[in-house]
Structure 1
Amino acid sequence: MGARPFTDTLVKLRYGALHDELTDAMNELVNKCSAASKGGKLTLTIALKPGKGGQMEITDDLKVSAPKEEKGSTIMFATPEGNLQREDPRQKSLEGIRSVEQEAREIRTLSSATPAQAAG
């Protein structure tokens, strides 16, 4: 009898739990690498410890090094009091400037109107 394929043993470790963890870890790593456009690493370490009666104790360690997604930053300004705010405290404000809210109104398209309707 020849050597048994490694995957035959892998799917039996911890009654299949390791195989499930590897599947989930690989799927998550692929998604994170794709989203970040950066590489990652999945490392499986298997340790063997022989017993006195012919048995073999097998332990595993799964490590995933996923890339971190880049996060945006916020620019804020320090005030003389030591606080942070979005507006530059040195910037002068213009009097009379106000925010104009959008009004709900009927929208007509020119393609559906006749030339006389579009002009009037």
Structure 2
Amino acid sequence: MEQNEKPFKLATEQIPAINGGWLDTELGQAMSDAVRAALAMGKQAEITLKLKIQPQNIAQGTVKISHDVMCKLPKEKREGGIVFATPEGNIQAHDPAQGQLNLKGISEPKEKMLKLAKTA
């Protein structure tokens, strides 16, 4: 018995049929998120699509397809900050070995009009 091979459909034709179109929606959202993050961070984003295809009824030619879309977005670089540690192991923003100055603010000076100098 000779089987005639039929041409396959493109993934773009098949993906909208999986899980009532949910895969198409989820993959499109992941792609948009990845593009935005890559442009914002200047780093690579990665999307992985995993499809599980399980035979359901071989005689009727049915299969069950489940999917998982994993999106790895670049993280924003965080610099951190310097704090001072106390002997007890606590941290604080100011150096405990240095005294605090009791500074007071001054009121804002009133605006004065600029005088134009005469030029020759």
Query: TM-score by structure 2 length?
Result: 0.75
For residues 52-95 of structure 1, the C-alpha deviation after alignment (integer angstroms, 9 at most, x for no partner) is: 2211111111111111111131211012343321111123455x
1:75-114 matches, within 5 Å, as 75-93=82-100, 98-101=103-106, 103=108, 105-106=110-111, 108=113, 110=114, 113-114=115-116
Runs of 5+ consecutive residues of structure 2 not aligned to the other structure: 1-5
* 2:78 aligned to which of 62, 67, 71: 71
User: How many residues in Structure 1 have an aligned counterpart in Structure 2?
Assistant: 111
Identity %: 32
Runs of 5+ consecutive residues of structure 1 not aligned to the other structure: none
Kindly state the Cα deviation for residue 49 of structure 1 after the two structures are TM-superposed.
Answer: 1.3
Mapped pair 1:44 → 2:55: no
Structure 1 residue runs of 4+, over 6 Å off?
none
RMSD: 2.4
Query: TM-score by structure 1 length?
Result: 0.75
